[in-house]
Amino acid sequence: MVPIVTLTTDFGARDSYVAAMKGVILGIAREARLVDVSHEVAAHDVTEAALALEAAAPFFPAGTVHLAVVDPGVGTARRGLAIVTDGARFVGPDNGLFTPFLDGRNWRAFELTALDYRLRAVSRTFHGRDVFAPAAAHLALGLAPERLGPPVDDPVRLHWSTVREAHGAVAGTVLHVDRFGNLVTSIRAEAFESFGAVSVRLAGRALPFVRTYGDLTPGQAGALVGGSGRLEIAVREGSAAARLRARRGTPVVVSRSSPVRRVRRRP
């Protein structure tokens, strides 16, 4: 099978950074198929990159190597990691990028310390090219991850995945605003799938819960489960972020709907 390596960065398309990483990968694994997840992650936004990986990685063939470089701590004491799960391998800085894949214990992590699997000269400002791209290429060729360095049992995790559950309600926050202005939240569908009918509030504002965007009228705001399995707030053919004046950190609550009681009138 042809090895697959995906790339997720905040480098954009203007400069040569992405091309340089691809050149390193192809110099080691010439037959590798390179797939761009996104290079338009907001600068230094680790949370946005983690969500992009969460949404894309599960749909790639088993064994795919996912190289992610959103690295505001480049050149500091932060570690470089390779993380191995049942379905994929991940390479990048140890800053929370791989939080979505660290549930339970169905993973192994290794620090990238072996000099044989990086470029001979390593820049303090471009580990994506000099450290992470070579490691990803060698993994794509079948290198045992243990050869990259010692095991790590405490990779950095982001705290955005935490939700609070109490009294038939789940509370979370907005994590990300996508290019359509949809608000992606920290609440996953399984957190409230047992509720049956639900009501949703964004910063105290009640919103209808619908199946898909088309169930809303143009300009109407509502809540739904998006393609990544997370609760989203959307405005049909508009921006929920602008319309509702919401951003990362805005509180969201999903509650079990109370049945409406009908009052019988006496004849």
How far is residue 98's CA from residue 47's CA, in Å, rounded to a whole number? Answer: 10
Is 31 in a helix, a strand, or coil?
coil
pLDDT over 80 at 263, yes or no: no
When pLDDT is averaged across residues 127-146 and rounded to a whole number, the result is 98
Distance CA 50, CA 68 (A): 9
Residue 168, pLDDT score: 85
Task: Examine the pLDDT at 266 and tell me if it is beyond 70.
Answer: no
pLDDT tier, 196 (very low <50, low <70, confident <90, very high otherwise) = confident
What backbone torsions phi and psi does residue 252 show, to the nearest 5 degrees?
Answer: -135, 140
Residue type, 182: N
| Structure letter (DSSP) for residue 154 | -
Please list the alpha-helical segments (H only) found in the chain: 17-28, 46-56, 127, 133-140, 240-243
Which pLDDT belongs to residue 48?
97
**Alpha-carbon gap, residue 90 to 101, rounded angstroms:** 9
Query: If you ran DSSP here, which 8-state letter would residue 57 be given?
Result: G
Interatomic CA distance for residues 122 and 170, integer angstroms = 46
Mean pLDDT of 153-161: 90
CA-nearest of 56, 27, 37, 59 to 141 is 27
CB atoms within 10 A of CB 251: 14
Query: Which of 67-71, 102-106, 150-154 is predicted with the least confidence, judged by mean pLDDT?
Result: 102-106
And the tokens for 256?
């079990």
256 vs 265, residue with greater confidence: 256
Q: What is the pLDDT of residue 265?
A: 55
Domain 4-152, what architecture? 3-Layer(aba) Sandwich (3.40)
N-to-C CA span, the chain: 77
| Domain boundary assignment for the chain | 4-152, 164-256
Residue 260 has pLDDT above 80, yes or no: no
Write the pLDDT tens digit of every residue in 11-51. 999 999 999 999 999 999 999 999 999 999 999 999 999 99
Task: Report phi then psi at 191, rounded to 5.
Answer: -70, -20
Q: How confident is the model at residue 69 (pLDDT cuts 50, 70, 90)?
A: very high
Average pLDDT, the chain: 94
Instruction: Name the CATH topology of 164-256.
Output: Elongation Factor Tu (Ef-tu); domain 3 (2.40.30)
